[in-house]
Amino acid sequence: MIKSMFASSKTDLIDISKSQNKINELMLGLIQEIITLNTMSYSFLAAVIGELEQRAKSGWTDSEGRFQELSETGQQFAGKAHDIFCKIAEGSKSTQTRIDLNKQDIDNLKNDFIAKAEVVQQSRQDIDNIKSVLTHKTAVVAKQSKDIGQIHSVLESKTERLASIDKLLETKSERLSSIDKLLASKADRLASIDKLLEEKSTVDQSQDMAIKQILQALEDGQRLDQQRVLEIHSLSQALEAQTERTSAAINVLQAGQAKAVRGVYAASTVAVISAGVTGLRLLGVL
C-alpha cells in the first residue's frame, strides 16, 4: 500500500511538471511573436515617414524619367499625413514599452518555472530514494522474519519518515498552488496584451486607409496640374497664331490705308489680349 501511494504521487508530480513546462513554452512563444509583430509594425511606420519626408522636400522622378514635386496643396496634404504617421508611431512606441515591461515579467516567471522544475526534480529524487530504502528494508524484513521486535522498530522509524514526507509533499502542493495562481495572473496580462494588439490592428487599418486617400489626392492634384499646363500651352499657341494673322493683314493693307489699318490693328490686338486674359483667368492662372 505504501509503495502504491508513493508511485501514484510520483506519477502525479511528473504529469504536473510536464504540463507546466508545456504551458511555459507556449507562453514564451506567444510573447516572442507579439514582440516581433510590434517591432515590424514600428519599423514600417518609420520607413513610411522617412519616405514621405524625402518625397515632400526633394521631389521624385516618375516612371518616364521626369522630375516631379508637390504643389502647395500637395505639400499641405503631405504635412497632414506626416502628422498622422508620427502620432501612430508614438502609439506604437508606447505599445512597445508596455510589451517590454511584460517581457520582464515573463522572464521573471520563466525563472520561477525553472525553480519549480528543480523542486519537482528534487522531489522525484527524494521519492526514488525513499522507494529504494523501502525496497531494501522489505528485503531485510523478509530475511529476518523471526526478529519481530526489530521489524516493529524499523516500521515505526519508517512511519515517522513517511509522516515527514507527507508534510514535505503538502508543502510542495502549496507551492504548486501558488505557482498556479501566478500563472493565472500572467494569463490575465496576456489577455490585456491581446486587447492591445487588437487595438493596434484597428489603428493599422485606419493608417492604410489614410495612406490610400492621400496617394489618391496627390495623383488627382498632379493630373490637374498637367492638364492646366497643356491648356495654357494651347492658348499661347492660339495667341501667337492670331498675332501672326493680324500682322499679315496689316502688311497687306498698309499701302494707301495706313489710318484704317492702324485702327484695325489696334482693335485686333485689344481683342486678342482680352481673349488671352479671359482664358488665363478661367484656368486659374490670374
Q: Which residue has the higher pLDDT, 262 or 163?
A: 163
| Backbone dihedral angles phi then psi of residue 146, each to the nearest 5 degrees | -75, -25
Q: Where do the domains of the chain lie? A: 1-59+69-134
| Mean pLDDT taken over the chain | 72
- Of 8-17, 67-76, 182-191, 248-257, highest mean pLDDT: 182-191
Question: Which carries the bigger pLDDT value, residue 136 or residue 2?
Answer: 136
pLDDT at 282 over 80: no
- pLDDT higher than 50, residue 227: yes
Provide, rounded to the nearest whole percent, the portion of the chain with pLDDT above 70: 57
Residue 218 exposed, middle or buried by CB count within 10 Å (0-12, 13-18, 19+)? buried
Would you state the pLDDT for residue 253? 74
Q: Under 8 Å CB-to-CB from 284, ≥6 apart: which residues?
A: 228
More confident residue, 224 or 111: 224
Query: CA-CA distance, 124 to 18, in Å (whole number)?
Result: 13
pTM of the model: 0.27
Q: Which three cell numbers stand for residue 162?
A: 513517511
Residue pLDDT, tens place only, 170-225 = 888 888 888 888 888 888 888 888 888 888 888 878 888 888 888 888 888 788 87
How confident is the model at residue 143, as a pLDDT? 74
Residue 2 confidence (pLDDT): 47
State the helix-helix crossing angle for 72-143 and 2-58, rounded to 10 degrees. 170
Q: What is the pLDDT of residue 6?
A: 47
Greater confidence (165 vs 273) lies with 165
Report the range of poorest mean pLDDT among 21-30, 138-147, 188-197.
Answer: 21-30
Q: What is the pLDDT of residues 28-80, one digit of tens each?
A: 666 666 666 666 666 666 777 777 677 767 776 777 777 777 677 767 766 77
Asked if residue 163 has pLDDT above 80, the reply is: yes
d(CA 271, CA 269): 5
- Examine the pLDDT at 267 and tell me if it is beyond 60: no
Hey, what's the torsion of the CAs at 21, 23, 24, 29, to 10 degrees? 130
